[in-house]
Structure 1
Amino acid sequence: METNQNFESSPMHQPSNSPNFFQSSTAKILMVGLLTLVLLIPLQYVKTLIFERADRQKEVIKEINSKWGESVYMYGPVLKVPYTHYSETKISNEKTKQITVQQTAETRFAYFFPDKLNADINVKTQQKNRANYQSVIYTSLLNFKGNYQYPNFGSQSIPAENIQWNKASIVVKTNNIKSITGSVQVAINGKSYTFEPVQEDEGRDSVASLETRPFDIKSAFASGSANFDFKINYKGSEQIKIVPIGKMTSAKMTSNWPSPSFDGNFLPESKKITDNGFTADWKVSHLNRAFGQKHFGTLPNLAAYTFDVKFLIPVDQYQQNERAAKYGFLVIGLTFLVFFLIQSVSKICIHIFQYSMIGLALIMFYTLLISITEHSSFTLAYIIAGISVVVMIGLYSRSILKDLKFPLFIIVSLSALYSFIYVIIQLENYALLVGSIGLFAILGAVMYFSRKIEWK
């Protein structure tokens, strides 16, 4: 009997008081963290869906623009004067040792830019819809006025008799003659000349050319200079790019588009932008450019010397959805953290399956957001998706947490988090600053509420 008593009191057979690791706070937070990482997989699928829809939008916009009219690049009018260039070739006869000189004649061209160029540009935009996609298209009237000085060939030492004064013409260079509407004419000292498309092989400027029929410079420039009036109409999309080729170029553009983007080598000297459109003015001197007023042989590539105006939707729906999805990991992580803190404070057990359901509901927010956005505005879609997810998680947490105060706290926290992210998405210049301050405040709140939790 004494032996049995000693055996029963042996330490090896006493019940263990050590806590189970899988019931500890450390194990629970590790599992929640692992679940958060696993949920990044469906979140990445949502981002891929957004990218696919955005690519589809680009394809549709490109198709709409190609049928209506693409972006416009142009410069002109340029005075083109042909001249005869003679070259000599020495031919040596090996048998007779005689050298003969063979002279060949070749027609070359001189290009003269206007001395003064005034441009008045009016652009009327509209948004064209196809299914759920939008594109900005426009009709434009470009009116150019100015004058030419009498062409001077002195810098090239070209004899006057070699210049074909009666075969001069006016040239306009543009990237897309398909976008031009109606006839195009230029009036020189009151006499009208019609443009026709021509095929040119010379030059490095790989754009199409419009050219008038030949005329006699001596009669057109009877007073020593010539005034011109030139109009052209375009159907285009996205942007307009114009090269200021005048010795002094003054341009004014008016449009009903409320959010233009000014780009290119020259920005407007003044601009006024309202909800009803904008007005912008440019003044460019020949001293501001890296090309002169006359060119012999070929025209240079002038695409780098434009002033541009873009007619684009500033932040489209897919860009906003993409920016919202970037905060998905933050939303999931903070929501799980709130539930974990509530679990630690209230001693209520929340199963990993319940965490999974909450995480999937948070991901469903982004699929709801992108699908509703395609049929309405981003703001309305964000409100609908946010309310739906917050109500679903609130009701679900009510069944888990029993007490009403914790579900209400979760609803308020999620609403504040989604509102905070919406504000960041709408901001551009201050997004990083506001986001950093907000995250700092959230971290401080988490540290405050978790300070008394017993982590053993």
Structure 2
Amino acid sequence: MENPIQHLNPTPSPKPSFLQSNTAKMIMVGVLTLFLLIPLNLVQNLIRERSERKNEVTEEVTKLWGEDIHFYGPILKVPYKTYTETAIVDEKTKQTVIQKKAYIQNAYFFPDNLENKTEIQKVDELKRGLYNPIVFKANMKFNGSFENISLDKLALKSEDMLWEKATIIIKTTNLKSIKSDLKIGINKTNYSLESKADEDNYFGTLETDAFTFNPSQKLDFNFNMSYNGSNSVQFIPVGKTSTTSVNANWDSPSFIGNFAASDTTKKITNKDFHADWKILHINRPFAQQYIEKIPNLSSYSYGVKLIETVDQYQQNERASKYGFLVIGLTFLIFFLIQTISKKSIHIFQYTMIGLALIMFYTLLISITEHSSFTIAYAIAASAVIIMLLLYSISVLKEKKFPLFISASLTVLYSFIFVIIQLENYALLVGSIGLFLILGAVMYFSRKIDWGNN
């Protein structure tokens, strides 16, 4: 016979322990998310290490092939006599005698007109292992003239000038990588350029043999220079009027220095670029002539640098910075699905999911080194999404929620890829995207009764 008291006082169901509550699971998932920052940081260190290795290889290759080109000249160099007077007292006669002694100094004159046309040809064959440094061949053509040489500003006398010992000098970096026959045409006569010892620790000096210069006549010059170079080509506007034209088969130039290229003629396509400069003597803060020595004018240069807008390691590093966001949002999706569907997901399974997300970045960097970043990103993202899809099906024992997880990850990885490609609008797009993600989370979690968990 049944006991009626049992119907009046039913046995209460046991209250679940705190460790089985959603609050405890949220805490554990949060701790796991923070713990996964350790392997994520190791991946970021790996990216930096590979990037440093690339820089080392690039530096090694450019030292052998040719470094940055910095050109400065031509400059007319004319020796002159300067005198010192010393008073000497004759011991016998006790009379003071003025002794005059001559010394040789040099005067330097910049050209009135200087025209330069430079062709830069990117070299793709010089690959070292996984890396392809930015190296090129540069062919430069120069012509111009010296005229209206004035000694007044230098306080020199024409009779003290050694016009018959005039020379032309050119200052340039990267002397070891000059590939042309160094001759300069001076009034239709060719002169050889020879390397000379110089106190300058940055520029090397090329100088012609002596020739006779008539200051009342115009001196025309022309010459060609061919280099193996890397990274950049820069010039100093020593001409009273300096014009420069640069063409290159490179799609990412950075115009550098103190003088901007002409906006009216500058042209950049996805294959090459063209740029022109015209600089007058009134645009620069230095004179046309000097005595004794030429000051350091390297800070008044202009030119172009061939750059990679965002190289593969920079893209990988930017992708890894979103790792915490990807892990956090993925765990949040799993947690919401677990709460809504009443499915149980163990903390170990969360750990496997987190490690799979970390593996995305190791796959990304390893594939990028052998392919483009876009292809590597697509392969790595697809591999991780498929892995998590299959794993979710086995954990949740159904296909509805795993398909939703896969779709969410696809949208998330696509969103991050778009942000990585953007430069000027990355912050704006990222902020809008995160706002929409937060709104979606609020929408799907609005009906969950957190008070009973």
For 1:313 and 1:251, the matched residues in 2 are separated by 24
Q: Map 1:199-218 onto structure 2 (within 5 A).
A: 199-201=197-199, 206-218=202-214
Deviations 1:174-195 (A, max 9, x none): 1121111121121121111110
Partner of 2:138: 140
Partner of 1:260: 253
Deviation of 1:98 after TM superposition, in Å, equals: 6.7
For 2:87 and 2:323, the matched residues in 1 are separated by 78
Is 1:373–2:371 an aligned residue pair? Answer: no
Is 1:364–2:359 an aligned residue pair? Answer: yes
Partner of 2:291: 296
The gaps in structure 1 that reach 5 residues or longer are 1-13
Q: What one-letter code is carried by the residue in structure 2 that aligns with 1:389? A: V
Q: Which contiguous aligned blocks of 4+ residues in structure 1 show a shift greater than 3 angstroms?
A: 14-19, 89-104
Alpha-carbon RMSD across the aligned residues, in angstroms, is 2.0
Q: What one-letter code is carried by the residue in structure 2 that aligns with 1:263? A: I
The gaps in structure 2 that reach 5 residues or longer are 1-10
Partner of 1:158: 156
For 1:124 and 1:29, the matched residues in 2 are separated by 59
Is 1:333–2:328 an aligned residue pair? Answer: yes
For 1:96 and 1:33, the matched residues in 2 are separated by 105
Deviation of 1:99 after TM superposition, in Å, equals: 5.5
CA contact (8 A) 1:205 1:300 kept: no
For 2:103 and 2:318, the matched residues in 1 are separated by 61
CA contact (8 A) 1:205 1:301 kept: no
Q: Map 1:395-434 onto structure 2 (within 5 A).
A: 395-434=390-429
For 1:123 and 1:244, the matched residues in 2 are separated by 19
**What is the number of equivalent residue pairs in this alignment?**
438
Partner of 2:192: 194
For 1:91 and 1:374, the matched residues in 2 are separated by 78
SS in 2 for 1:268: coil
For 2:168 and 2:201, the matched residues in 1 are separated by 17
Partner of 2:53: 56
CA contact (8 A) 1:112 1:151 kept: yes
Q: Map 1:313-352 onto structure 2 (within 5 A).
A: 313-352=308-347
Q: What one-letter code is carried by the residue in structure 1 that aligns with 2:205? A: S
Partner of 1:6: none
Partner of 2:384: 389
Distance 1:346 1:225, change over 3 A: same
Partner of 2:8: none
Larger mean Cα displacement after TM superposition, 105-114 or 208-217: 105-114
Distance 1:344 1:91, change over 3 A: farther
CA contact (8 A) 2:196 2:205 kept: yes
For 1:150 and 1:248, the matched residues in 2 are separated by 14
Partner of 1:9: none
For 1:79 and 1:99, the matched residues in 2 are separated by 41
Given the two structures, how large is their TM-score scaled by the length of structure 2? Answer: 0.93
Q: Map 1:28-39 onto structure 2 (within 5 A).
A: 28-39=25-36
Q: Map 1:441-452 onto structure 2 (within 5 A).
A: 441-452=436-447
Q: Map 1:44-193 onto structure 2 (within 5 A).
A: 44-90=41-87, 101-127=98-124, 128-193=126-191
Identity of matched residues, %: 53
CA contact (8 A) 2:154 2:290 kept: no
Distance 1:409 1:93, change over 3 A: farther
Deviation of 1:246 after TM superposition, in Å, equals: 0.8
For 2:424 and 2:103, the matched residues in 1 are separated by 59
Partner of 1:240: 233
CA contact (8 A) 1:117 1:250 kept: yes
Deviation of 1:322 after TM superposition, in Å, equals: 0.7
For 1:100 and 1:311, the matched residues in 2 are separated by 65
Larger mean Cα displacement after TM superposition, 22-31 or 164-173: 22-31
Given the two structures, how large is their TM-score scaled by the length of structure 1? Answer: 0.92
Partner of 1:4: none
Deviations 1:361-420 (A, max 9, x none): 000000001111111111111111100000001111111112211000000000110011
